[in-house]
A and B are shown apart, each in its own frame.
Chain A
Amino acid sequence: MTGSSLRWIDWKLAPKAMLRETAGRFCLLFLLGSFLLSMLLSGGMNRFLSEQWAVTAILRLSVSPAEGQGIAGKAAGLPAVRSAVYKDAEESWKEFLAAYPGLSTLRGAGGNPLSGYVEIRMRPRRFTEADIQAVEAGLRPLPQVERILSGGEVLPRLLRVREWVNAFLWAGFALLCTVSFLVFLLQEKARSSFLAADFNFLRERGVSVRSIIVSRASGSLLTGLLLSLAATGTAAFLLFILETRLPLLGRVIGPAREIPTLPILIPALLFLFASALVSGAASSLGWRAAQSRPE
């Protein structure tokens, strides 16, 4: 009796059932992998909010474009800032007119009443109250800056809502993981019951129960690892494809090119190993559940 022949025993004895179960597991893991990658890339609501929300540093009327550019450059150098763009007074006026078309007469008397400003966007993972305050603190002492608009009282409330939404999304992911584990467990239990006579046959012919459990669990672990690798890889590939066709997806979820970076890769690898462990544990627990089933 070799370990490898026992490892794939379920495939030998019930190939059709195994194929069905594997297809089902792939779909579940694909769903989980897609969810995880989307969450990791977007940070839940973080990316969407950081795209929509900007900290605006309004400059004094006397500030020259060169100074404005310099302030934007300084702001862009802050670690929490993704981008800082200087808009001169003319651009400000155009944007104002686009928003309020009937107010062009305001300029007639004394020229452009608007000053230039710097539009600052935060990194999705740094879109926190502390980081926004740090940006404000970095810009406020500058004599060229007249005012900083960062949302005032609305921002803390918005950030709290974001925390709740993120917690809800992660809870959804955890629920999906639990459901998947239960599905794996039920599949393993049903299969162990179905193959009980065969395992009994082996036991009567000198194959120890321990080696059956350990070998089946290691086979399941290996299958789980390969399946989750294939499912998560497919999910990543689809994100790349979809991003080119649906640019909105890239703005909400984030650019798929960030997938091969450490902040995404490490949790994704942990997910793969966790899936493998869960598959192995489901095999072992399913066997026990099938054995303890009342006759």
Chain B
Amino acid sequence: MIEAFRVGAVSRNGTLWDGLDLAVGDGEVCVVTGPPASGKTLLLRILRGDRRPDAGDVVVGGESLYRGNPGAVRAFQATSGVIPESFPACGGRAIGDLFRISSVAGAGISARERKEREEELLSLLGLHGAQDAGFSSLSVSERARVSLAVELFRGPKVLFADMLLHNAGREWMEMLGGLFRGLAREGKTVLLAERTIPEKWKAMESREGIVKGPFRLFRYTAKGEVP
């Protein structure tokens, strides 16, 4: 469980938000929506333990990320995956290389297992046989899906994804929704930051989400119900 208590963030232009309380449980998909420059990316970074909030604290599994043992942050980050909004150029790296580095982060993955899971995940995300393709030659949608596959490869307990639905494109919304529900069914947590919630997803939500500062929060469980 990830809990944010009275979290505040300040940018160069002033206070972005303050006193934000948030709790995301295990087996839950949570979508944070907000207008551009509202601090969605920053919120994800704070919740991941990448950036200390200007006020408040984040607690994961009962342990503070910012006021406790620094090892707790690393342990949490080791069990989580992160998909950034913009993808680094990766200096001529092939997709297979990204899986290789991901396997280094996730210890104990043999070369054979890596190959099998790589093929399986790329096929699932519509990139069958693309292992040797250069990452920089891919479209934004393909890069988003490759990044997702690379993170899912390690089987993270928590997945943070910034603008993934937007970058993957409309045709992948339904598939990704099903995938995230599947992850939630396995007890995993998915935290997405998007500008807007897809219409189909909105239909699954009975309300218009919960307003939290400049954000709107939408929660889904494995069955697509509001908890």
Q: Which residues of A line the B interface, CB within 8 A?
A: 1-2, 5-6, 9, 12-13, 194, 197-198, 201-202, 204-208
CB of A203, distance to nearest CB on chain B (Å): 9
CB of B2, distance to nearest CB on chain A (Å): 15
Of all chain B residues, the one with the shortest Cβ separation from A199 is: B101
* Contact between chains at B79 and A206 (CB < 8 Å): yes
**6 closest A-B pairs by CB:** A206-B78, A206-B77, A205-B105, A206-B74, A1-B107, A2-B107
CB of A32, distance to nearest CB on chain B (Å): 32
CB of B99, distance to nearest CB on chain A (Å): 11
> With contacts A206-B77, A207-B74 known, what are 5 further pairs, Cβ within 8 A?
A5-B104, A204-B77, A205-B82, A206-B73, A206-B78
Contacts of B154 in A (CB 8 A): 205
CB of B20, distance to nearest CB on chain A (Å): 23
Contacts of B107 in A (CB 8 A): 1-2, 5
Contacts of A201 in B (CB 8 A): 101-102, 105
The digit string for B85-108, where 1 denotes a CB below 8 A from any CB of A, is 000111100000100111011111
Q: Which residues of B line the A interface, CB within 8 A?
A: 50, 73-82, 88-91, 97, 100-102, 104-108, 154
* Contact between chains at A6 and B90 (CB < 8 Å): no
The distance in angstroms between the C-alpha atoms of A252 and B97, with both chains bound, is 53
The distance in angstroms between the C-alpha atoms of A20 and B89, with both chains bound, is 24
* Contact between chains at B88 and A197 (CB < 8 Å): yes
Q: A197-B88, A205-B81, A205-B82 are in contact. Are A9 and B104 (CB under 8 A)?
A: yes
Of all chain A residues, the one with the shortest Cβ separation from B70 is: A208
The distance in angstroms between the C-alpha atoms of A9 and B88, with both chains bound, is 20
* Contact between chains at A207 and B78 (CB < 8 Å): yes
CB of B75, distance to nearest CB on chain A (Å): 7
Contacts of B50 in A (CB 8 A): 204
Q: A1-B78, A12-B100, A207-B78 are in contact. Are A202 and B105 (CB under 8 A)?
A: yes
* Contact between chains at B100 and A204 (CB < 8 Å): no
Q: A1-B78, A13-B100, A197-B90 are in contact. Are A207 and B105 (CB under 8 A)?
A: yes
